Amino acid sequence: MYNPLSKKAQSALEYMMTYGWAILIIVIVAVILYSMGIFNPSSSVTATSSGFSPFTPSSAICTAGPGGYTEISFVVGGLPNGASSVTIDKLYLTSPSGFSSSSSKQSTYISPTTVTPGQTFNVVIAGENCSSSGISFSSAASLQYSYSTPAGNVNANATGTIAGKSSTTEPTTFSAYGLPVGASWTVEYAGLNVSKSTNNNISFGSISNVPFKVFPVVFNGVTYYPVYASGPSSPFGYNLDEDFISNEAL
């Protein structure tokens, strides 16, 4: 006797046998891609731009902990009004989220400051650290720059948003020797000045190839000069024992 239900069941079974393996393979591939973060944009994007024209942010770093910093790299695109170069003046973070402070911050160090199309420049905000490692951070930002035209100098703003995941960094630590008790000393690192008493070290998050400067100390009419007054930093962290020599000993 003809059974239409049996015929339908047989057709369904044949369909599953024909396409089941293909469906299973597609599911397995999708699971593998998901585990690799292919479907998660935040896993591969280090900086998100919603502006900054004619510049494009290529990376954004925010390190956690005391002495941390924020660093953004930009690539220069086509410049306005036929300008051959621009001077980068300042970058402002106007609404930080995920940072240790929600107040606006401005750049402390920019290198290089004069750039041409296709060139990369780095902007550092020393002392602006994220609240912890491995969290998302973002901020609206304004990049101020200027350039020359036959009609005169032009000041302009490029606005956008930077975002990424915070990380950690090795500290660079300065220690003072040869100063009298009660004196204060100052180190400038990537444009940020930090002063402490002689018995305290001064630490920063290590940034590659930014300048540091150690200032002479005047205490009770005597000037103490640092032996290592300036130099470039290391990206891997180090301890610098800073010896001071008084002008009386020179």
- 115 plus 147 within the same structural domain: yes
Residues 149, 110 share a domain: yes
The parent domain of residue 232 ranges over 171-246
Q: What does the mean pLDDT of the chain come to?
A: 83
Share of the chain above pLDDT 70, in %: 79
pLDDT given for residue 195 in this prediction: 92
Q: What CATH code is carried by the domain that includes residue 99?
A: 2.60.40
Cα radius of gyration rounded to whole Å, the chain: 28
Strand intervals (E) in the chain? 55-62, 69-76, 86-93, 105-106, 109-111, 114-115, 120-126, 136-149, 152-165, 171-177, 184-189, 192-197, 202-205, 211-214, 217-219, 222-226, 230-232, 239-246
pLDDT attached to residue 65: 76
Tokens 């041409």 locate to 116
| Per-residue model confidence as pLDDT tens digits over 135-150 | 999 999 999 999 998 8
Q: pLDDT tens-digit profile of 85-110?
A: 999 999 999 989 999 888 889 999 99
Residue 30 vs residue 75, higher pLDDT: 75
**Distances from the Cα of 70 to the Cα of 51, 79, 92, angstroms:** 19, 26, 12
Confidence of residue 38 (pLDDT cuts 50, 70, 90): very low
pTM (whole model) above 0.75? no
Q: Is residue 16 predicted with pLDDT exceeding 60?
A: no
Following CA atoms 110, 114, 118, 122 in sequence, which dihedral angle do they give, to the nearest 10 degrees?
A: 0
Task: Let me know: does 86 contact 146? Beta carbons within 8 Å.
Answer: yes
Same domain, 188 and 112: no
Both 22 and 131 in one domain: the answer is no
Domain count, the chain: 3
**For the residues 180-206, what does the mean pLDDT come to?**
90
Q: What is the pLDDT of residue 46?
A: 42
Residues 69 and 121 in one domain: yes
Q: Are residues 157 and 228 in the same domain?
A: no
pLDDT on residue 208? 81
Do both 86 and 146 map to the same domain?
yes
